[in-house]
Amino acid sequence: MRSWTLRRRLVALVVGLVVVVAGAMGAVSTLALRGSMVGRLDDDLRASSGRAVGAEDLGGPDALPGGADGGRFPVGPPPGLDVRGQRAGTVSLTVRDGAVSSGRIDDAGGVARLDDEQVDVLAAVEPGAAPVTRALPGLGRYRVLAATTAAGDLVVTGIATTEVDRTVRDYLVVETLVALVGVLVAGVAGRAVVRRELRPLERVATTATRVSKVPLATGEVRPVERVPAADTDPRTEVGQVGAALNRLLDHVETSLAARHASETQVRQFVADASHELRTPLASIRGYAELVRRLRAEVPDDVVRAMGRVEAESRRMTRLVEDMLLLARLDAGRELERTDVDLGMLAADAVPDARAAGPDHRWRLDLPPLADDGEDGAPAAVVTGDAPRLHQVLVNLLANARVHTPPGTTVVTSVRRDGDVVVLAVTDDGPGVAPALVPHLFQRFSRGDAARSPGSGSTGLGLAIADAVVRAHDGTIEVVSRPGATRFVVRLPAAAG
Ligand SMILES: Nc1ncnc2c1ncn2[C@@H]1O[C@H](COP(=O)(O)OP(=O)(O)OP(=O)(O)O)[C@@H](O)[C@H]1O
Ligand SMILES: [Mg+2]
């Protein structure tokens, strides 16, 4: 029941209430009806009993004919039945000096004797002021009153309750039918009303659901949907929910906008700072180079020191370039959109890697080229920014060179898989430390070896690859274990 919908619960409640009320009303009115009818019957019974007692006083069974058959019925029918006014179905029993006389007025107006069992039931009734109900075998239920005459005879009179019982039963049937119809109507109408009343709540929930599907995690906050004004009337409960939801959305929207603004500021600051650093770095590099060229005129240790300055400034330049690039990608700066053949890109980048790392084995695995007029493999062409995609590949190849020992084999493969172009760089080096894998694509995350001074590692290479690939609506992932490290880039293939 706890998991029932509110609508179901309300309808069940309405129906339940109607059942309870109809039941209570039916029970009370039936009891009242029955009470009043029995009351009237008892009045009749008292009158009837009075007449019977009067007749007994006047004459008694001796005065009547009959009495010839002996046994339990030595006398004629009780005089109480032979009085004017006794209705059909009335039973009477008289006991005088141990002699029992009994009878019942049948429907034709004659008097029929009662059998032994019936007599036993009637004879057992105690004389008293209040009528009691007794079931007479074969005759049904009777209201019975016993009285004693002045002469000490017992006179028991009974009137059938058949009429009352039938009326009450009919009334009960009608009432049950009416109650059933009432419950049915309450169910159907309740359902319709509850459904109509809850519809605004459903609309509010639908709005909330739709808002929950709006991507809010990144990017500029666009205005999200609101609950329509009709469902925000604070005088109704549903309106209060709708209004509260709208206030919540206002709050979320302004907070996100503020957050986005401050993020943008930080990003802009990083971009500006990186940009500003390029010029002084270029001069430092230039002066260091100058010293290198004037080697003959400067003491050796100064040349060595300036060599370090040059190397470090080169490294810093790369870092600054990387940071600038990331800041621009973060800012959602538009990428160039041209057709880029990843196969060609790989064919360019792998020889460069081979030149940089001659101690590694570099392999390129490309699908066979399509001859003119023949069906070859579909071209591995994507739409995107060629220099950026080139950088992704360069970063992956640099990692396979820098973070693996000499002799490692590095396989670069490009293939088209349906609507996706898959670029993979696989090496059989020692692999990425498992603890590093979950953070591999985060900024400045690098392995312990890469942290050692002079390694030239910054930990931005994969972060850049990730940002570039995502800007192209692609994915990059890694599977690594010792002996098999595989970086896979998936990009949507260019249309057509
Ligand atoms: N092919 C690989 N084999 C083993 N470890 C790798 C491999 N590629 C990356 N890693 C690990 O992942 C870390 C992060 O790589 P990432 O390219 O982001 O940074 P980096 O290479 O350390 O520095 P940067 O590329 O900015 O010069 C590396 O420091 C290295 O520990
Ligand atoms: Mg790297």
> Out of 96-105, 267-276, 358-367, 483-492, which region has the weakest mean confidence (pLDDT)?
96-105
Reported as a pLDDT band with limits 50, 70 and 90, residue 36 is very high
Q: In the numeric block, which tokens belong to residue 295?
A: 């080697």
Task: Specify the pTM.
Answer: 0.61
User: Is the distance from the beta carbon of residue 429 to the nearest atom of ligand 1 less than 6 Å?
Assistant: yes
- CA-to-CA distance for 288 and 304, rounded, in angstroms? 10
- pLDDT score, position 68: 40
Which amino acid, one-letter code, is at 276? E
Structure token digits, residue 308 = 């370090």
> 3-class SS at 337?
coil
Q: String of b and e for 383-405 (b: at least 16 CB within 10 Å)?
A: bbbbebbbbbbbbbbbbbbebbe
Give residue 269 CA to ligand 1 midpoint distance, Å: 26
Mean pLDDT of 475-484: 94
**Contact indicator for 55, 71 with CB cutoff of 8 Å:** no
Confidence band of 471 (pLDDT split at 50, 70, 90): very high
With 50 as the cut, is the pLDDT of residue 69 above it? no
* Residue whose CA lies nearest to ligand 1 atom number 17: 461
User: Of how many residues is the chain composed?
Assistant: 496
A 10 A CB-CB count for 361 gives 15
pLDDT of residue 111: 85
In the three-class reduction of DSSP (H, G, I as helix; E, B as strand; rest coil), residue 382 is classed as strand
Rounded distance from Cα 447 to ligand 1 centre (Å) = 7
Query: What pLDDT, on a 0 to 100 scale, did the predictor assign at position 370?
Result: 57
Q: Is 446 in the pocket of ligand 1 (CB under 6 A)?
A: yes
**Residues facing 99 on adjacent strands:** 96
Mutate to test the pocket of ligand 1, among 324, 403, 480, 487 (most ligand atoms within 8 A of CB): 403
Query: Does any ligand 1 atom lie closer than 6 A to the CB of residue 306?
Result: no
CA distance 448 to 451: 5
Q: Cα(94)–Cα(115) distance, rounded to whole angstroms?
A: 14
Q: What is the mean pLDDT of the chain?
A: 88
Q: How many helices (H) and strands (E) does the chain have?
A: 9, 13
pLDDT category at 72 given cuts 50, 70, 90 is very low
Mean pLDDT of 105-126: 87
Dump pLDDT digits (tens) for 150-160: 888 889 999 99
Higher pLDDT, 215 or 69: 215
Whether residue 308 is predicted with pLDDT greater than 80 in this model: the reply is yes
pLDDT of residue 65: 42
Closest CA to 426 of 415, 413, 437: 413
Residue of minimum CA distance from atom 19 in ligand 1: 459
The answer to whether the CB of 462 is under 6 A from ligand 1 is yes
pLDDT tens column, 349-364: 999 999 999 999 999 9
For residue range 312-328, list pLDDT tens digits in order: 999 999 999 999 999 88
Over range 15-36, report the average pLDDT: 94
Q: Can you tell me the mean pLDDT for 120-140?
A: 90
Q: Which atom of ligand 1 is nearest to the CA of 460?
A: 26
Beta bridge partners of 476: 489
Mean pLDDT, residues 124-129 taken together: 87
pLDDT of 372 reads 53
Q: CA–CA separation, 225 vs 242, rounded Å?
A: 12
464 in contact with ligand 1, CB cutoff 6 A: no
